[in-house]
């Protein structure tokens, strides 16, 4: 109410809150903190004159050049918190942080610092409770001494893509409560994780091929406090030897999970397998989530259909992404999902047609609605609404997709299709020729078409046979160039667009 914090935004899935602070409020807060909090910026030319002394408890380092960086020595011995933000190509942590002087450190954040290794003396930080090493893609190994940090409660390793494994010694972190490893390319998780009986949060499970070497899903029952907060990724689902394994974890009972990612295999394995795999279909069917789910991603899947029987029961689902489902030829009736706001269809190599079944409208359904309606509805009151809340729709890299069939609007059943559609993106759909008829009836505000030559030719203003379907759209972007912005047509430069033919260029000038 007194404007200390402004512009609050709450994350849709996780409940995290971000806000802004006025610079005067920030300066006043810094003044009150005095030397207890220090922000030090180093770019090799100028340094913040405010230094670290024995009264400093919290330090933020912004590193532009490692060569001119002052080493933190005995004057920093009382530090509790260190955040490092690095702009260098490679950061040697041991040149800056002498850990044997920082024995009271409780929080260390090295997020995206381009580090390749950690010094062995990190094990001296006996009071460390929070360690963030996320997005260090060159980090290849964790020192053994790291697992001597018996007070560590949170370890973040997200997107450390070069890290080959988690060692069994992780079992020594007896007070660990939160482990974040999403984005790491592990073949499995160490069995030692099952000994972390106090673990509350784990954001990724990996189904291993070698059951004797890695953590088995059935071992999770030993972790009685594990709750899988908000987000969970299950990777290498195709390695499941027996569907009973997923029955052991009972995914349907985890009501706290709001965002679920199901990855069936590594992407480079997809094209080594030529045939449709019915096993993938059965595995997907066994992975029924709780109906509270709000976001779902299914990737690297080789089933003939991506329509498990539980899909339509996800009435709270707002975001769906189908990625690299390369054998799927027909999309599920997603138009029936009442809460869906965002939909991404990416790299469905076998998808050739998107028709009425995708909208969730069939002749049988029309008859059922008509019989139930009787003579009470007027034509202006639609009894069928397909995709009632969809705002964002994206089709990306569906190269075989040739037809985009619309709904037959001559039916007597009052119908609305995508009445909230705001953004449509079509990328690398080289064979697509048409847009659906119903598009001209949507409130579409932003249309982006990239690297789809046939469609680009057909939507040229005035001359393209598909232009009438999008003439109401105020913002149209073709290959990263706005050709219509806020309703004003902008001339395109042919030299800036390699995929635009001379005829397209003349149409744009017209």
Domain borders along the chain are 1-163
Tokens 């050739």 correspond to: 352
Whether the pLDDT of residue 264 is over 70: the answer is: yes
Q: What is the C-alpha separation between 243 and 378, in angstroms, rounded?
A: 50
pLDDT, mean of residues 306-331: 95
What the block records as the tokens of 428 is 């690398």
From residue 264, alpha-carbon distances to 91, 234, 446 in Å are 35, 8, 33
Q: What is the C-alpha separation between 55 and 302, in angstroms, rounded?
A: 59
Pairing outcome for strands 488-489 and 107-109: unpaired
Q: What is the C-alpha separation between 171 and 180, in angstroms, rounded?
A: 15
Tokens 């999970």 correspond to: 257
Q: Each residue of 64-111: pLDDT tens digit? A: 766 655 667 667 889 999 999 888 888 888 777 778 888 899 999 999
- The pLDDT, as a whole number, for residue 500 is 41
Whether the pLDDT of residue 498 is over 90: the answer is: no
What kind of fold does domain 1-163 have according to CATH? Answer: 3.80.10
- The pLDDT, as a whole number, for residue 13 is 67
- The pLDDT, as a whole number, for residue 204 is 96
| Helical H segments across 389-497, by residue range | 453-458
- The pLDDT, as a whole number, for residue 110 is 94
What the block records as the tokens of 423 is 């953004």
pLDDT > 90: percent of the chain: 56
Q: Tell which wins on pLDDT, 321 or 15.
A: 321
- The pLDDT, as a whole number, for residue 505 is 37
Q: What is the C-alpha separation between 335 and 412, in angstroms, rounded?
A: 19
Under 8 Å between Cβ of 263 and 227: no
As to burial, measured by CB atoms within 10 angstroms (0-12 exposed, 13-18 middle, 19+ buried), residue 104 is middle
Tell whether the torsion through CA atoms of 382, 386, 389 and 392 is positive or negative: negative
Q: How many CA atoms lie within 13 A of 389 on its CB side?
A: 13
Whether the pLDDT of residue 247 is over 60: the answer is: yes
pTM of the prediction? 0.88
């Amino acid at each position: 109410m007194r404007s200390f914090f402004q512009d609050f935004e709450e994350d849709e899935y996780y409940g995290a809150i971000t806000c802004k602070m006025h610079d005067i409020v920030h300066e006043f807060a810094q003044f009150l903190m005095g030397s207890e909090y220090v922000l030090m910026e180093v770019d090799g030319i100028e340094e913040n004159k405010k230094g670290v002394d024995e009264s400093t408890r919290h330090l933020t380092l912004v590193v532009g050049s490692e060569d001119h960086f002052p080493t933190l020595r005995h004057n920093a011995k009382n530090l509790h918190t260190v955040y490092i933000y690095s702009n260098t190509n490679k950061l040697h942590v041991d040149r800056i942080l002498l850990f044997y002087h920082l024995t009271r450190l409780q929080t260390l954040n090295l997020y995206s610092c381009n580090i390749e290794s950690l010094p062995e003396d990190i094990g001296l930080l006996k009071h460390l409770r929070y360690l963030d090493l996320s997005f260090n893609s060159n980090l290849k190994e964790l020192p053994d001494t790291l697992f001597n940090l018996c007070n560590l409660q949170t370890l973040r390793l997200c997107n450390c893509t070069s890290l080959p494994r988690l060692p069994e010694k992780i079992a020594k972190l007896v007070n660990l409560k939160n482990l974040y490893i999403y984005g790491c390319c592990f073949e499995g998780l160490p069995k030692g994780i099952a000994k972390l009986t106090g673990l509350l949060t784990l954001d990724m499970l990996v189904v291993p091929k070698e059951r004797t070497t890695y953590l088995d899903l059935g071992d999770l029952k030993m972790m009685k406090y594990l709750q899988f907060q908000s987000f969970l990724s299950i990777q290498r689902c195709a390695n499941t030897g027996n569907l009973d394994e997923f029955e052991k974890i009972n995914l349907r009972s985890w009501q706290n999970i709001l965002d679920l990612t199901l990855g069936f295999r590594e992407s480079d394995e997809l094209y080594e397998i030529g045939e449709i795999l019915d096993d993938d279909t059965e595995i997907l069917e066994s992975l029924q989530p709780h109906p509270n789910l709000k976001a779902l991603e299914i990737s690297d899947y080789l089933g003939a259909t991506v329509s498990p029987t539980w899909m339509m029961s996800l009435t709270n689902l707002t975001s769906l992404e189908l990625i690299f489902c390369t054998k799927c030829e027909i999309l599920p009736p997603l138009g029936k999902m009442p809460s869906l706001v965002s939909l991404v269809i990416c790299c469905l190599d076998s998808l050739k047609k998107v028709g009425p079944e995708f909208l969730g409208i069939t002749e049988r359904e029309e008859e059922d609605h008509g019989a139930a309606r009787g003579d009470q509805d007027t034509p202006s009151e639609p009894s069928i609404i397909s995709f009632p809340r969809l705002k964002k729709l994206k089709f990306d890299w569906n190269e075989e997709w040739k037809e985009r069939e619309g709904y037959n609007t001559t039916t007597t059943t009052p119908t609305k299709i995508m009445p909230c559609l705001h953004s449509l993106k079509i990328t690398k759909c080289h064979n697509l020729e048409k847009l659906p008829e119903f598009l001209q009836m949507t409130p579409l505000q932003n249309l982006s078409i990239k690297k789809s030559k046939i469609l680009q030719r057909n939507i040229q203003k005035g001359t393209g046979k598909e232009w009438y379907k999008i003439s109401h759209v105020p913002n149209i972007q073709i290959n990263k160039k706005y050709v219509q912005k806020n309703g004003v047509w902008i001339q395109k430069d042919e030299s800036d667009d390699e995929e635009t033919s001379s005829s397209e260029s003349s149409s744009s000038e017209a």
